[in-house]
Structure 1
């Protein structure tokens, strides 16, 4: 089968938003190559984990980021390139730098697509206990505490290597003690759902606005047989959902977190946690102010580069 590859040159801060644009356009998969990720690879950085590859052996872009998507050739995606370019350029209205905003389309075949992922996707420790591993790699945990998240990056964005995903997983790691119920809003590839369950939580619901992401999450869950059954549905944030959870996690853009704040409040019990990421530095106050106005207490702010994660809690009014 022939496919159309659409590659967008953008900035590191805009990769998740650009990936979302491509998925909404109908992409069958999205790959992210970010110069910032490669800049952080150093030999021996992870101690006993070690580095999986020699950083000097990796071919990668030197600046910015490249987000690559694949569409069935029958969809004539070339006609949508101008619209994609306009949407990428308009990201500056949301406070994101679109970078070069260059959109390039070219045809590829199944073989080229299948091998394209493997040139830069490799096992990566993302928290103290969690390592993301592509499903084609043979990998053995380095110690009894390490947990492996297996993903197929060809099914949706959210491979666990982007700073926003790492911050979300670190946030979950800091609040999960075992047995908590979790709702994952904007699940994408399902990486946070898988991570939460491996840390000992019980994910009762995962949602995403995009049907392709729902399918991706379900398939990635199947790659991790130790994960229990999870209800994955297409839904707009928490609209119409009345289930109570101990933890609600969302790795989405700041402007989308704000309307989620009152919904999360209504679905959390006293002492429940709201773990968020996807917040660029100049949007942090927007998110934390919305949380405080709702009544949340900010327990911790996490930072990686220009990205932030926030751990908020619905406080006990008798103790605050």
Structure 2
């Protein structure tokens, strides 16, 4: 299969907002390219990492790209993207805001992705791609192997890291955990690893490929399939799915999804939670923070923490 790559020409200041706007339209696989040098502290190998390639001078420009398969409805979605960009122009400088198009073959997609996904740490947790060997000095530590496949969850994004740090804080042995919008399964896998398997996982995603990807990543992490039950569907309005997921069952619910989806889903979250359970969520761009907070409070959840990383927000609440 070939993929059509659409690249929005924008500015580095607007790239996160443009990316969040695409996510609000349901486009979740986003690539950002700019010439901002990587700070020493953010390099995967630190300041002594092999020399970084020389980049052109940073002129404040950025390209925010996304991919669509040949069989998808391109015309309708691109019209929505253009309309959303026009709305953004009314409130901020997004640069040119033009869209370039190119074709990427399936094999190029996979190989190009592997060039950019390298091992890295989130605090004391090592995240590594399946195609890299673990270094001798990392053996014995908590590590997670991920093959993002079509679902792309690697842990690199700020929203995933925010959720992981909250899981480390609130999980306890024996927990029932619900992962809403499980993607590649990375949050479920990390929860299992943090508790040494002493938990039960349930996950949902609207994309059937994500369920397959999650079980594949379970296998490469030596987690038995029986450790989790994962379902396709939308928890917002799918009563059958809500029944499968269950009621007053979970100690922790985690959702790394879009702000508008969290808001729409808010009424369905407390019924799934035990009294005293925690709801950990991110995927919230900063200008949506208050809307999500209000929606969670409106369904009776108490806000415990609000954390920020870059342009992104985590909200942790309790029933």
TM-score by length of 2: 0.78
Whether the 8 Å contact between 1:134 and 1:151 is mirrored in structure 2 is: yes
Aligned to 1:174: 169
Bigger shift: 117-126 or 8-17? 8-17
- Output the aligned Cα RMSD: 3.5
Counterpart CA distance in 2 for 1:61 and 1:4 is 30
Picking from 241, 254, 274, the partner of 1:249 is 254
Pairs aligned (count): 298
Picking from 191, 206, 220, the partner of 1:209 is 206
Whether the 8 Å contact between 1:164 and 1:308 is mirrored in structure 2 is: yes
Q: 1:227 to 1:175 in 2, by over 3 A?
A: farther
Aligned to 2:288: 283
Aligned to 1:18: 22
Whether the 8 Å contact between 2:43 and 2:49 is mirrored in structure 1 is: no
Aligned to 1:114: 110
Q: Give runs of aligned pairs for residues 135-150 of structure 1, distance below 5 A.
A: 135-140=130-135, 142=137, 146-150=141-145
Q: Give runs of aligned pairs for residues 1-320 of structure 1, distance below 5 A.
A: 3-9=2-8, 11-15=15-19, 18=22, 30=29, 32-33=31-32, 35=34, 41-43=39-41, 50=46, 53-54=49-50, 56-57=52-53, 63-69=61-67, 71=69, 75=71, 80-91=73-84, 100=97, 102-108=99-105, 110=107, 112-126=108-122, 128-140=123-135, 142=137, 146-200=141-195, 202-226=199-223, 229=226, 230-237=228-235, 239-240=238-239, 241-242=242-243, 243=246, 244-314=249-319
Displacement of 1:265 in angstroms is 0.8
Structure 1: runs of 5 or more not aligned: 25-29, 315-320
Displacement of 1:258 in angstroms is 1.4
Deviation track 1:186-222 (CA, whole Å, cap 9, x = no partner) reads 1112111111111116243110112222222222222
Q: Secondary structure at the match of 1:257?
A: helix
Q: 1:43 to 1:301 in 2, by over 3 A?
A: closer
Whether the 8 Å contact between 1:141 and 1:148 is mirrored in structure 2 is: no
Counterpart CA distance in 1 for 2:31 and 2:41 is 22
TM-score by length of 1: 0.78
Whether the 8 Å contact between 1:182 and 1:203 is mirrored in structure 2 is: yes
Counterpart CA distance in 2 for 1:249 and 1:60 is 40
Deviation track 1:266-290 (CA, whole Å, cap 9, x = no partner) reads 1111110000001111111111112
Q: Secondary structure at the match of 1:269?
A: strand
Q: 1:228 to 1:141 in 2, by over 3 A?
A: farther
Q: 1:154 to 1:7 in 2, by over 3 A?
A: farther
Bigger shift: 95-104 or 164-173? 95-104
Counterpart CA distance in 1 for 2:91 and 2:200 is 31
Whether the 8 Å contact between 1:52 and 1:124 is mirrored in structure 2 is: no
Counterpart CA distance in 2 for 1:98 and 1:188 is 32
Displacement of 1:55 in angstroms is 6.8
Counterpart CA distance in 1 for 2:92 and 2:161 is 21
Q: Secondary structure at the match of 2:276?
A: coil
Bigger shift: 100-109 or 289-298? 100-109
Structure 2: runs of 5 or more not aligned: none
